[in-house]
Amino acid sequence: MNTYTFSPTLQKSFSLFLLEKLDSYFFFGGTRTQILVITPTNIRLAAKKRGCKVSTIEKIIKILSFILLPLVIIAFILRYFLHKKFDKQFLCIPKVISNEDEALLGSRPQAVEKAVREISPAFFSIPRKYQLIRIDTPRDDAPSILFPIGIEIILKDLCIDTLKQSNLFLKREMDFLDHPEEKALFDSICSIEKDQEWMSLESKKLLITHFLKYLFVFGIEQLNPGFNPENGRGVFFRNKYSKDPFSSARSIWANLFFGTHHEGNIKIKGMGYQIFTRLKKLGISFSSYNSINPNPYFFDEGCFVYWESQFKSALQDHGILQKQTETFYRNT
């Protein structure tokens, strides 16, 4: 059972006031969960406070008070029911922030709500280690609250120096239609590799950084809305951009990440498959939101990666926002 405290800037109802007092009474040290802000739709932003201590004298007083056993039992039962009503999933800030930033978050529930709703849906499927928070407080403007994904940390943990990629994939016919940034990336890699058999660490960093940014940030869109307007958001790694059915050119995804190459009886697969395997080992969850298809889902036109079950349902999928928002914190 969590032990809650609430930010001084948060206006507490009587129920939350009582919950905080009961939690404090039964707390003998360890980790506390401080609720920093509760937004208008009941999204809760919290911080874990580890290593909280209770003085020896206070512990002794609490233990002596247990002599009044009937009252202690009533308090414990009341605490249980208050927790049962209040305990919901909350978004825990991913790092320790200053008291000033905590106060800023607590005083701006609408800004927090907006920031949380704009989070990449992939954010909730990655371990807390890769979840970041950035609070900018310019002098003249309203503060900016962002929850980015730690692409560089993920890249480091993938240990790409042990990942092998044949440069034979660079010799394939490429399709860069309407994607000049991928053409520039490909040209840079070709100038680095030249006649090498295996891709260098420098080129792998460039390619995999592009892959991760596409997977977690700028590649995210609603998938196949024409088939189902309620489809969730995710990423589509297209095999080709051109609509020409006779063109043999393929995208950077099909050729460099999810292509295959045969050398005699040996089948060499692109590094995209290895990256997915390693991402799963890092704790990144590819939940099967569609019971029919796996996630990632490979098919003739490319690869789908879903980050939510329905359009903009990520907060509900992970319990951050309830389908029927409650007013417990305001009305009780």
pLDDT digits (tens, 9 = 90+) for 156-171: 999 999 998 888 888 8
Closest among 215, 205, 209 to 284, alpha carbons compared: 215
Report whether pLDDT(138) > 90.
no
Q: What is the pLDDT of residue 284?
A: 94
Q: Do 242 and 177 contact (CB within 8 A), yes or no?
A: yes
Question: What is the predicted pLDDT for the residue at 262?
Answer: 63
Q: Give the mean pLDDT of the chain.
A: 86
More confident residue, 149 or 94: 149
Contacts of 331 (CB under 8 A, 6+ apart): 13
With beta carbons less than 8 A apart as the criterion, state whether 39 and 108 touch: no
What's the whole-number mean pLDDT along residues 292-314?
Answer: 88
Q: Which residue, 37, 33, 39, is CA-closest to 5?
A: 33
Q: Tell me the percentage of the chain whose pLDDT exceeds 90.
A: 38
Query: In whole angstroms, what is the distance from residue 3 CA to residue 30 CA?
Result: 9
Average pLDDT over residues 215-220: 95
Label residues 157-167 b or e (16+ Cβ within 10 Å = b).
bbebeeeebbb
Confidence class for position 291, pLDDT limits 50, 70, 90: low
Over residues 255-271, the mean pLDDT reads 78
pLDDT at 42: 86
Output the six-digit token pair for 216: 């977690």
Helix (H) / strand (E) containing 72: helix 69-86
- Give dist(CA 89, CA 322) in Å, integer: 9
pLDDT of residue 328: 42
pLDDT at 325 over 70: no
Of these ranges, 16-25, 39-48, 208-217, the one predicted with the greatest mean pLDDT is 208-217
Per DSSP (E only), the strands in the chain are 4-6, 30-38, 44-52, 91-92, 134-136, 144-146, 220-222, 233-238, 260-263, 266-269, 297-299, 302-306
Q: Which of 59-73, 106-120, 170-184 has the lowest mean pLDDT?
A: 59-73
Query: pTM score > 0.75 for this model?
Result: yes
The answer to whether the CB of 38 falls within 8 A of the CB of 10 is: yes
Is 324's pLDDT higher than 60?
no
User: What distance in Å separates the CA atoms of residue 204 and residue 165, rounded to the nearest whole number?
Assistant: 8
Tokens 């039992």 map to which residue? 73
Mean pLDDT (whole number) for 40-56: 84
Q: Which residue has the higher pLDDT, 142 or 299?
A: 299
The whole-number average pLDDT for the span 104-121 is 90
Binning pLDDT at 50, 70 and 90, where does residue 285 land? very high
pLDDT band for position 263 (cuts 50, 70, 90): low
| Cα–Cα distance, 33 to 52 (Å, whole number) | 10
pLDDT of 288 above 80: no
